[in-house]
Structure 1
Amino acid sequence: MPTPLPSPYFIAASSPAAALVGLDAGELANEDFVAVFTGNKVAVRSQPLSAVYSGHQFGVWAGQLGDGRAITLGDIATPTGPMELQLKGAGLTPYSRMGDGRAVLRSSIREFLCSEAMAALGIPTTRALIVTGSHQPIVRESVETAAVVTRMAPSFVRFGSFEHWHYRNKQDELRILADYVIKNFYPEFAGAVNPYKELLAEVTRRTARMIAHWQAVGFMHGVMNTDNMSILGLTLDYGPFGFMEAFDANHICNHTDQGGRYSYANQVPVGHWNCYALGNALLPLIGTPEEAEEALDVYRPAFGAQLDELLHAKLGLRDTRDEDGALFDAMFQLLQANHADFTLFFRRLSGLRVEDPSFDTPLRDLFIDREAFDAWAATYRARLRAESSDDALRSEAMNRVNPKYVLRNYLAQVAIEQAQNGDYGGVHKLLAVLERPYDEQPENESYAALPPDWAAHLEVSCSS
């Protein structure tokens, strides 16, 4: 059962998320909703639960973990199927270990904003319905205040949910869980010759595609432990995440990750590694290592095909040609050498005109080595001419897939500091901007600016 917080108050709610479960976001500030979504009141038909799972953390087997501060209230029927509602930060559970079961305002606002920002970007993700707060002090590196974020997903089952039963040699429970997931989320595999192999292959495929979306938008999860990997291929558990700014393929967004296991570049192989951990857990059901390997072999082609499709769209290329891989590689080498801003590069690239380099100035200014940019741009222009690209049509198409607005750390930090002083207007405004990431929004131009100098000193870690 949730543990009540003193004098809970409303911070923000997501209208798109509320609409998914038939609620009006405008009503969520009402006292009854605030009480339910803080854990101070349990709805009549709700039967709260917390789930056990285990996991590999930073590549090391960590044993039993579980929902140490997450409490599922139940699910709501929607036109697309049941949607679970889960409180994060609502107090102690049987799996809290040495923790207090709470979450702080800082991390709750970050998860709330990023869940909805990712959804608006079209990236598979859990959703965030509402975030509430309380002035109850919570001790982390310093004393902060409590908050609860209500997140939503068809299921919160994780890779680690299967690892838990496998490592305890509980094959009956392992099979029950796998059959539940297949019945409710992958019913097309129920009649397969080897449904568990098909399950592993599809989860691996979804995971690969999800990570391709991360790479294409410059998103870094920060803590890709197997207990943070969704069996539905959703981005799950927003902690020390970050969006790439000055491009560095080896960038580490999580200050705790001193070895760089979860750097931007490493997300791709680590995703595959995590699928192997799931395959190992499912092996008693699948049968042979060879069959599990066949299922896991879908990862690289699925990732490659998805990223290739996304990069073609980001560069406004209508067809696929043999030389495109070299063009993409040269582009990333150029970004790496100049540490150009990732989001602004792709957004400004839409303004390039095939026959008029004078329009390149805003894009060119992102690079220290302008001559290197000019050389790459010449190759890109030649590629555009080869398919008779139309500047206006290409620009419009590119702006539909290259966001102008992402949740930069400094934007989140400004909104958080305002909220810590009792002003939640910054959270509301930032949410509204992020809900339309591809629109120009000239009135919000400042939200698309390069980060200020002080932002270079921001650090995010696993502490929340």
Structure 2
Amino acid sequence: MSLLAEDTEAADLGLRWKPGFAALGPAFFTELRPTPLPGPYWVGRSEAVARELGLPTDWHESKATLAALTGSMPVAGARPIATVYSGHQFGVWAGQLGDGRAIMLGETEGGLEVQLKGAGRTPYSRGGDGRAVLRSSIREFLCSEAMHGLGIPTTRALCVTGSDAPVYREEIESAAVVTRVAPSFVRFGHFEHFAANQRDEELRALADYVIDRYYPACRTTDRFDGNAYAAFLEAVSERTAALLAQWQSVGFCHGVMNTDNMSILGLTIDYGPFQFLDGFDPRHICNHSDTQGRYAFNQQPNVAYWNLFCLAQALLPLIDDQEVAVAALESYKTVFPNEFEGRMRAKLGLTEAAEGDRPLIEGVLKLLAAGKVDYTIFWRRLSGYMADGNVEPVRDLFLDRAGFDAWLLSFSQRHAGTDRALAAELMRRSNPKFVLRNHLGQQAIEASQQKDHSGVATLLALLQTPFEEHPGADAYAGFPPDWASTIEISCSS
């Protein structure tokens, strides 16, 4: 029996749905409905995502919409599903996984998949309750929109809804649901699942679906003698490399880069124990569960390549040549450093590459690491220096003044003859004033737990336009308090 929502009590969100991923057939998912939560209430909403979806301006005024996006009422025309995948977790094969607490409502006519995270148990919950807590849901909601504001490819978040229903983690917390939006939620792990089970027919169907929908140029490529699957692997590799370069340039730690948390579209996906760096520490581990430091900040580019190698192994039955599969990953080794240097040049106000840029970049990163200098504040103050010539606010960040002065001389020589105003503008567009620091998120969470959601709204407004000055909001761009270093974020977060 199909669970297509034709109920008389279904909520009409004003969206029209098409088969999308569900057209692949029942081997790829299970049809089910979300599990209702009592007494839902709004926690946060992104009007920007509402516009992307084409929702009416009064979309949030309906009690039916609130209930539907909390999983308590069917959505008209939707066919909710949970998808199956497998993956490597912390470098170890974990076998079958799947959407254990996420239920996809479907794909809109505009080509966006809509998913409820925290909407109850699925066949892939592996003994879990299928719920998300308010704490983690607020973090995901805000960071999804913060990353988009930074220009980094990401899944988006339409809203967070809450309920006083209890959820048991390390302690009793209240439940919440995040409505997530993306062109596709397909992960590396979807391919690994069918490859590991020698289900080559389904593996090919999945690859064909993703290529035809999102990578059509791979069908007509002359790369790898026209092997579309190898070209697809290369394209995913290059998107992933560009994404990692952006993460590293803004000081973003994902925290749990398992293969099932890697997007086939090169999106940032699954916001759990993430963190934006405060003091710059290349070896920083943001995930309290990561006792071996596998996902430390400076390990992220290598882990991404390792994950791509797992994807290559999964696609090998289709590529049919191991050497070709390995060759399809090769461009990662050039795309990542080139993209990273390009991002860092922009942060330095440099529009063109020149000999000596790499030592300039490496030199400042070493200085930042040696002094554990606040990463975001340094880059924003350096932008200010380029605009007004006052170096003292930047210099004050360093204990090693001589080291900084020597670097600044090289930096100034590199800018000799350049238009400082243009360079300053490039730097302001490349160095955000606001990022979602852990303590800011924690303050908003604690207020929301007392039913005060104004902090969530304030942070959302700042993070959606993080390069703007936002007069009066300097407190959100300041140094973290001492207690921020005591915040522990784990895989349950």
Confirm or deny a common fold (TM above 0.5): yes
Instruction: Quote the Cα distance in structure 1 between the aligned partners of 2:58 and 2:283.
Output: 42
**Alignment-mate amino acid for residue 285 of structure 1:** L
Two-structure CA RMSD over aligned residues (Å) = 1.2
**Alignment-mate amino acid for residue 463 of structure 1:** S
Offset from partner CA, 1:153-206 (integer Å, 9 cap, x none) = 111110000000111111111101101111111112224421100110000000
Cα offset for 1:76? 1.1
Offset from partner CA, 1:105-163 (integer Å, 9 cap, x none) = 00000000000000010000000001101000000000000000000011111000000
Question: Identity over aligned residues, as a percent?
Answer: 54
Question: 1:338: which partner in 2?
Answer: 371
Question: 1:43: which partner in 2?
Answer: 75
1:317 aligns with 2:346: no
Find the partner of 2:229 among 183, 196, 199: 196
Residues 103-114 of structure 1 mapped to structure 2, 5 A cutoff? 103-114=132-143
**Alignment-mate amino acid for residue 108 of structure 2:** I
Cα distance change on mapping 1:355 and 1:424 into 2, 3 Å: closer
Q: In 1, are the aligned partners of 2:279 and 2:374 still within 8 Å (CA)? A: yes
**Alignment-mate amino acid for residue 396 of structure 2:** D
**Alignment-mate amino acid for residue 152 of structure 1:** V
**Alignment-mate amino acid for residue 99 of structure 2:** D
1:212 aligns with 2:269: no
Question: 1:453: which partner in 2?
Answer: 482
Question: 1:21: which partner in 2?
Answer: 53
Residues 62-73 of structure 1 mapped to structure 2, 5 A cutoff? 62-73=94-105
Residues 435-450 of structure 1 mapped to structure 2, 5 A cutoff? 435-450=464-479
Q: In 1, are the aligned partners of 2:386 and 2:423 still within 8 Å (CA)? A: no
Residues 19-418 of structure 1 mapped to structure 2, 5 A cutoff? 19-24=51-56, 27-78=59-110, 82-192=111-221, 193-353=226-386, 359-385=390-416, 388-418=417-447
Instruction: Quote the Cα distance in structure 2 between the aligned partners of 1:328 and 1:143.
Output: 46
Instruction: Quote the Cα distance in structure 1 between the aligned partners of 2:349 and 2:42.
Output: 42
Offset from partner CA, 1:304-356 (integer Å, 9 cap, x none) = 11111111111001221111111111111101101101001111111225995
Instruction: Quote the Cα distance in structure 1 between the aligned partners of 2:311 and 2:351.
Output: 37
- Return structure 1 stretches of 4+ with deviation > 3 angstroms: 353-356
Q: In 2, are the aligned partners of 1:89 and 1:101 still within 8 Å (CA)? A: yes
Cα distance change on mapping 1:42 and 1:325 into 2, 3 Å: same
Q: In 1, are the aligned partners of 2:46 and 2:158 still within 8 Å (CA)? A: yes
Offset from partner CA, 1:346-391 (integer Å, 9 cap, x none) = 11111225995xx111111111111111111111111111xx1222
**Alignment-mate amino acid for residue 328 of structure 2:** A
Cα offset for 1:89? 0.3
Cα distance change on mapping 1:113 and 1:26 into 2, 3 Å: farther
Question: 2:448: which partner in 1?
Answer: 419
SS at match of 1:205: helix
Cα offset for 1:24? 4.2
Instruction: Quote the Cα distance in structure 1 between the aligned partners of 2:383 and 2:82.
Output: 47
Instruction: Quote the Cα distance in structure 1 between the aligned partners of 2:244 and 2:352.
Output: 23
Instruction: Quote the Cα distance in structure 1 between the aligned partners of 2:216 and 2:153.
Output: 20
SS at match of 1:442: coil
Cα distance change on mapping 1:13 and 1:139 into 2, 3 Å: same
Instruction: Quote the Cα distance in structure 2 between the aligned partners of 1:70 and 1:21.
Output: 19
SS at match of 2:162: strand
Tell which deviates more after alignment, 321-330 or 190-199: 190-199
Question: 2:24: which partner in 1?
Answer: none
SS at match of 1:85: strand
Instruction: Quote the Cα distance in structure 2 between the aligned partners of 1:389 and 1:189.
Output: 41
**Alignment-mate amino acid for residue 443 of structure 1:** G
Instruction: Quote the Cα distance in structure 2 between the aligned partners of 1:291 and 1:250.
Output: 34
Instruction: Quote the Cα distance in structure 2 between the aligned partners of 1:237 and 1:252.
Output: 17
1:10 aligns with 2:42: yes
Instruction: Quote the Cα distance in structure 2 between the aligned partners of 1:360 and 1:366.
Output: 11
Instruction: Quote the Cα distance in structure 2 between the aligned partners of 1:25 and 1:449.
Output: 35
Instruction: Quote the Cα distance in structure 2 between the aligned partners of 1:125 and 1:309.
Output: 20
Normalising by structure 1, we get a TM-score of 0.97
Cα offset for 1:407? 0.2
Offset from partner CA, 1:25-83 (integer Å, 9 cap, x none) = 653242111111111111121110000000000000000000000000011122xxx00
SS at match of 2:326: helix
Unmatched segments (≥5 aa) in structure 1: none
Q: In 1, are the aligned partners of 2:132 and 2:176 still within 8 Å (CA)? A: yes
Normalising by structure 2, we get a TM-score of 0.91
Cα offset for 1:224? 0.2
Unmatched segments (≥5 aa) in structure 2: 1-32
Instruction: Quote the Cα distance in structure 2 between the aligned partners of 1:220 and 1:338.
Output: 19
Cα distance change on mapping 1:326 and 1:354 into 2, 3 Å: farther
Cα offset for 1:11? 1.1
Instruction: Quote the Cα distance in structure 2 between the aligned partners of 1:415 and 1:221.
Output: 20
**Alignment-mate amino acid for residue 479 of structure 2:** L
Offset from partner CA, 1:279-328 (integer Å, 9 cap, x none) = 00000100111100110001111111111111111100122111111111
Q: In 1, are the aligned partners of 2:387 and 2:424 still within 8 Å (CA)? A: no
Q: In 2, are the aligned partners of 1:15 and 1:24 still within 8 Å (CA)? A: no
